[in-house]
Amino acid sequence: MVFLRQLSETGRNFVSKPHRFDNRVEDSVLGGAVSVQTIAEVLTQHVLAAADKAGHGDVLDSVEPTVPTNNPKFGDYQSNHAFRIGRALKTNPRQVAEQVCSQMSEHPAVKRAEVAGPGFINFHLNDAWMGQHVQTQLQDAQFGVPQSGADKTLVIDFSAPNVAKRMHVGHMRSTIIGDALMRLHRATGWHVISDNHIGDWGTQYGKLVVGWDRWRDEDAFAGDPIGELERLYVRFGVEAESDASLHAAARAETAKLQAGDARVLDLWKQFIAVSLAEFDQVYQRLDVHFDETLGESHYNEQLPGIVEELEAAGIAQQSDGAVIIRFDDEHENKTLRGTVLVIRKQDGAYLYGTTDLATIRHRSRTWSPSRVVYVTDLRQQLHFQQFFDAWRAWDPDGTADDIELIHTWFGIIKDPTGAMSTRAGNVIRLVELMDEAVRRARAIVDEKSPQLSDAERAEVAEVVGVGSVRYADLSQNPQSDVSFDWDRMLAMDGNTAPYLLYSYARCRSIQRKSDDAQSLDPSSLAMEHPRSRELVSSISRFPEAVQQSIANLRPNVLCDYLFELANAFNRFYYDVSVLKTEEDDLRRCRLALVEATALTLERGLGMLGIGVLSRM
């Protein structure tokens, strides 16, 4: 198969992928090993069949799905296929829509299909079919989410803090967003390898060794190892201003490290160990796990050979004693034009980009991934675009065209209240940040739920506190700047973790109060009330929300969906009295709907790494 190279953007993530067809719809729309189709997929196929009968089959080679409407006036789903056909044939889309509609056969899902406006086709779904569809969804192990990643491997590179430095809030965002992206990929069937590419190599270690030998405070190191290492690093900078010999000393220590000197190597290992111990506290608290932690140092020995290869291939060149890759002025990617990626400095040191080239080669050889995703803040955009391009040019194993490389970047956190800094203006430890979130959540639970035992309140505070920090990050578009605001993230109303968790707990509380709860089986969902129908419809859209979230690599799409679902549930709760429903069958149906809501919320929150609580 021949792949053309293509640079494109998914949202504003930078995607460098082999070109088959540019299609925002995941492969499942086009068939594949899918257990349950989403409603959008069912309807899309229905439209395509009719379009084919109307003689337009070959026009629609690239398929956009039928999408949910945002106004019930227009039915449940809307197709804009007629516009695509109209554009291709230069005919009036309204006419095309009417033609296609007239060719539509009966479909159990469709109560009514009608042409609207300049050429939309609106679908009103059949209630019984929709109820049945939701039941199938709930019984499916994947919750009806198409397994478009089946048989594919993803390597995801996130968190990746630097050793001997405090993990900063950018690393926290990378950790939270990366973890959610990993969970979302798993939910769509991908085989996932998470690799923590920690920064554990560089000339700073020579400086640290010099600092350690001269100024270390062992007690301080025991209490806050990273804090002490940061202090030594800063002290080195200050002292070196008046004593230039320190630089030579640091270079000598770095050289010893590279030569494998036992003492220096031991120190370096100790710095890594204490740093990883602190990072692990954050990971444990967030329930984040890595399959691999192959830091930069893992690739040291490969770097000289790689630079040689790149030079020999004419991809890299000598420039003032350094080795660089120059991107020409006509480069197809405008951002790269005239830029330079240094892969070896004058002094012989290798760089971040050199290591990334070695790393992708290792990942390609070890896991044969279809996709590699990197999650960092926006400042690294140029780096990734350069390195992706260099990798495709180099292509040492002929695999570059099989791998889609994606840099998904996020904005900077604004901190108007200073929550992220210590009084001295330093970045605070992320564990302390989470402690503070839990403390604040605890104060709220103590006040609002005194009936819970002490142990229960502690559990609620932990889930709500950590979940809120997480959700506050995930629920915003990653590529906009976000602000960190305790009150907003812990608010009981609005698009927040506490609101979603509370909605879930409300479901469980309704069930506890009912004698029917034990025999609960969501086998028939009542849609006699508009609020019930709205809720069933919302639940039925879960797979599409997950699909869209992953297609755009944006967890916030799933957050928005869950918020909508919780809203639909709360409207149902206020307008339809579940427990007071007289008629037994109807009451059981309504309870089934409560169960369906709870299961969907739980599954969705789980994909974001947030646990649920039966009481709060």
Interacting residue ranges for ligand ARG, rule: CB under 6 A: 157, 160-162, 197, 199, 356, 359, 374, 376
User: To the nearest whole angstrom, how small is the minimum distance from the Cβ of residue 36 to ligand ARG?
Assistant: 36
Minimum CB distance to ligand ARG, residue 382 (Å): 12
Minimum gap (Å) between residue 221 Cβ and ligand ARG = 22
Query: What is the token pair recorded at 359?
Result: 């790393």
**Would you state the structure tokens that stand for residue 54, as one six-digit string?**
């109307």
- Distance in Å, CB of 9 to ligand ARG, minimum: 20
- Helix/strand/coil for 555: helix
Q: Which residue, 236 or 374, has its beta carbon nearer to ligand ARG?
A: 374
CB atoms within 10 A of CB 73: 8
Is residue 416 within 8 A of residue 488, CB to CB? The reply is: no
Nearer to ligand ARG, 428 or 445 (CB): 428
User: Which is nearest to 182 in space by CA: 472, 549, 476?
Assistant: 549
Which of 179, 534 has the CB closer to ligand ARG? 179
Cβ 370 to ligand ARG, closest distance in Å? 18
Q: Edge-to-edge strand order for the sheet containing 404-410?
A: 4-10, 13-19, 404-410, 371-377, 153-157, 191-195
Helix residue ranges, H only, 554-583: 555-575
Residue 359 or 408: which CB sits closer to ligand ARG?
359
Q: Measured between alpha carbons, how far is 561 from 431 in angstroms, rounded to an integer?
A: 29
| 136 vs 142: CA distance, rounded Å | 11
Output 173 or 506, the one with its CB closest to ligand ARG: 173
In angstroms, what is the minimal distance from the CB of 199 to ligand ARG? 4
Nearer to ligand ARG, 133 or 407 (CB): 407
- Cα–Cα distances in angstroms (integers) from residue 79 to residues 108, 121, 578, in the given order: 18, 5, 35
407-to-149, 334, 384, 446, 469 alpha-carbon distances in Å? 19, 17, 7, 43, 23
Q: How far is CA 566 from the centre of its chain?
A: 21
CB of 296 to ligand ARG, least distance (A): 8
Q: How far is the CB of 374 from ligand ARG (least distance, A)?
A: 5
Nearer CB in complex with ligand ARG: 275/547: 275
Burial class of residue 218 (count of CB atoms within 10 Å of its CB; 0-12, 13-18, 19+): exposed
The CA distance from 511 to 290, in Å, is: 37
Count of positions (residues) in the chain: 616
- Our CB check for ligand ARG shows the closer of 44 and 376 to be 376
Distance CA 611, CA 138 (A): 19
Q: Measured from the CB of residue 427, what is the shortest distance to ligand ARG in angstroms?
A: 13
Euclidean distance between CA atoms 461 and 459, whole angstroms: 5
Output 159 or 476, the one with its CB closest to ligand ARG: 159
Min separation Cβ 375 and ligand ARG, Å = 8
Measured from the CB atom, is 161 or 604 closer to ligand ARG? 161
| Nearer to ligand ARG among residue 25 and residue 272 (C-beta) | 272
Q: Which is nearer to ligand ARG, 162 or 408 (CB)?
A: 162
**Cβ at position 170, least distance to ligand ARG in Å:** 7
162 vs 570 by CB, closer to ligand ARG = 162
Shortest spacing between CB 136 and ligand ARG, in angstroms: 41
Question: In the complex, what is the shortest distance from the CB of residue 359 to ligand ARG, in angstroms, rounded to a whole number?
Answer: 6
What is the spatial distance between Cα 233 and Cα 231, in angstroms, rounded to a whole number?
5
Long-range contacts of 26-33 (CB under 8 A, 24+ apart): 26/146, 26/148, 26/188, 26/547, 26/550, 26/551, 27/148, 28/146, 28/147, 28/148, 28/547, 29/63, 29/65, 30/63, 32/146, 32/148, 32/150, 33/147, 33/150
Consecutive H or E run containing 16? strand 13-19
For residue 324, which phi and psi values (nearest 5 degrees)?
Answer: -135, 160
